Amino acid sequence: MKKKIATLSTAILASALLLSACGNNNDNAGAANSAGANQPAPSNSANTAAPATDSDASGLVTASDMSKLPDIAKQRTDTIIVGLTDPSGAFTPYFQQSGYDGNVSSLLYTPLVKVDEKGLPIPGLAEKWDVSADNLTYTYHLRQGLKFSDGTPLTADDVAFTWTILYDKSYDGDSLVNSLHVQGGDAYKAGTATSISGIKVIDPQTVSVTLEKPNASALTLLGSDVLSKAYYGKDYKQGQLDYMKKLSGSPLGTGPYKLEKFIPGQEVRMIANENYFDGKPKTEHFIYKTAQGDTWQYLETGEVDYASFTATQENIDKLKALGFVNILPYTPSTYGYLQLNLKHPALQDKLVRQALTYGLDRQSIYVDAAQGAGQVANIPSSPISWSYTEDGINPYKYDAEKAKELLDQAGWKAGADGIREKDGKKLTVHFLGSKKPETDIFIAVAKEDYEALGIKFEPEVFADFNALVSKVEGGDYDMASFSTSLLTDPSDGLLQFVDGEIPGYDNPAFKALYDKGLATSNIDERKAVYKDIYKLLNDELPVIFTSYKKSVYAYNGRIQNLSVSPFNGLAPSLPSWTLSQ
């Protein structure tokens, strides 16, 4: 019997070891919205090193030889297939846990307010909206004759219902609506009110919501997808949203497509919605095919029509050689950064943070080593956003001499072993990163750069993202590498500096500007505020901004009218896609 126990515990131990060794290369699903955020690359700016290509203004390279198109793709006449990493089958917006499911639900539901390719609001299910003079009340006017995909009408009641359940105390999704401070929202959450006083249904076509505190991102946050009250609200009791899980596999939406069939681990089949407000989509069938990791072979054999790749020169050349795909470059609305532990005395000094930025050859790491598939970042906003600016922004071009000067100025002098010291303490940087090729490049370059400055660099690599985050939460680090999730409103990219995610960063001037940026809905006023904010953060560097990643879309040359929105992915242009024969 002893032998059996030994066998079993060995088996368990072995599997545990295996697990800890294998947990790499899985991006956090919440952040990795693979087909979510895309748009043509920005015009070449000062620090862009994009390889020159034979392309048109948007950067689109059209297919050179359609005769190479595989037969299997030619035979499809009314079906478009797109690869998607891992849809789980939970397709109710607000209640899903992964960005991949979000890609599916973005085709099954249409938001009240969409955003254009700069991130500015445009009409969706709501044809127009009013914002009160005090920026507290938002009134949405719905289009006439809206219907859910089963033909039932969509009214203001459905919108009010959707907002209400997000304030339920058992709501466990990741919608940010419940952090907006809608009037009466907290009372509803606490169970002391049976409805939310700030939400008012004016008539079947009009609904308004009042906030306690102005927040310019409310327009798009509240103006998101609408759930049918008749369908999703049938079993609703305050404080009990568990029943929603049963409905997650049978979504009822308002989007261009409706769910036909979900085959776990294989496909999500969708069929055109004849009740779509903008007219039935031109292509009858749309399929998301589950594709783990590399989708290259599926694109090459014609099993999928559309895939995205990192914009390295190697990938672009390979795609061009296929001949039958159009290639479209894009930059997602995210930014990468190195989080610094501002609780550590050395890093509290702005001069040290600036020296660390000057002294790191970001161009080599994020642009050259990535074969041009990136651009150096200096502010917490993506170049595709309406708020992006380079005006008055210090580019922190690699300059070891300048970095040394700053360190001297900050009082860090070289010790006997060449490592800089101050008050008997050595200047070390303990770096945490997750296991991937980019981290290896970073470590190699950073180690050389920092050691040349007299800084001891101690890298530590984690097999998986969760382990990395919990180590960072524990505070035992100096520098950690991260990237944001998709950002829609410019304030999204700043949230981490106000909500305590960057420990030790507390700047009243910044907080005042942050509030000012949300206090108005006027885009020009907001632009001016964000310009000031970016200047401030670019100078203070509570984190070191690193890079914007660049990718390319490759799609079957037969697909017409394709464009990709950086904030809504495929959904906006999909209804007009057609297949030429």
Q: Under rule CB under 8 A, which residues in 168-187 are in contact with another protein?
A: 170, 172, 174, 176, 178-179
Shortest Cβ 9–another protein spacing (Å) = 7
Range in contact with another protein (rule: CB under 8 A) among 112-120, 226-234, 298-306, 363-371: 298-306
Site string for another protein, 128-167 (x = CB under 8 A): ----------------------------------------
List residues bridging with 126 in a β-sheet. 142
Element (H, E) at 559: strand 559-560
Rounded to 10°, the helix 400-409/350-358 angle is 160
Please name the residue ranges forming H helices in 400-487.
400-409, 437-452, 465-474
Distances (CA, A) of 74 to 79, 288, 304: 11, 18, 11
How many CA atoms does the CB half-sphere of 478 hold within 13 Å?
A: 19
How far apart are alpha carbons 339 and 472 in whole angstroms? Answer: 9
Which residue in the set 55, 79, 275, 389 belongs to the binding site for another protein (CB under 8 A)? 79
Range in contact with another protein (rule: CB under 8 A) among 95-103, 128-136, 448-456, 537-545: 95-103
Distances (CA, A) of 424 to 275, 411, 412: 72, 12, 10
Which residue in the set 239, 265, 345, 411 belongs to the binding site for another protein (CB under 8 A)? 265
Please answer whether residues 165 and 171 qualify as being in contact, where contact means their C-beta atoms are separated by less than 8 angstroms: yes
The owner of tokens 């949300």 is: 518
Which residue in the set 77, 250, 297, 409 belongs to the binding site for another protein (CB under 8 A)? 297
The owner of tokens 């949405």 is: 140
How far apart are alpha carbons 393 and 8 in whole angstroms? Answer: 60
Distance of CA 244 to the CA centre of its chain: 25
Shortest Cβ 90–another protein spacing (Å) = 4
Which residue in the set 26, 152, 310, 573 belongs to the binding site for another protein (CB under 8 A)? 26
Q: Under rule CB under 8 A, which residues in 461-490 are in contact with another protein?
A: 464-467, 469-471, 473, 482, 484-485
Shortest Cβ 434–another protein spacing (Å) = 10
Nearest-5° Cα angle at 551, 550 to 552:
140
Q: Which is nearer to another protein, 438 or 449 (CB)?
A: 438
Which residue in the set 68, 74, 118, 285 belongs to the binding site for another protein (CB under 8 A)? 285
Which residue in the set 90, 322, 347, 554 belongs to the binding site for another protein (CB under 8 A)? 90
Q: Which is nearer to another protein, 393 or 463 (CB)?
A: 463
509 touches another protein by CB under 8 A: no
Shortest Cβ 580–another protein spacing (Å) = 19
Element (H, E) at 142: strand 137-142
C-alpha closest to that of 209 among 229, 238, 180, 189? 180
197 touches another protein by CB under 8 A: no
Shortest Cβ 496–another protein spacing (Å) = 8
Site string for another protein, 300-329 (x = CB under 8 A): xx-xx-------------------------
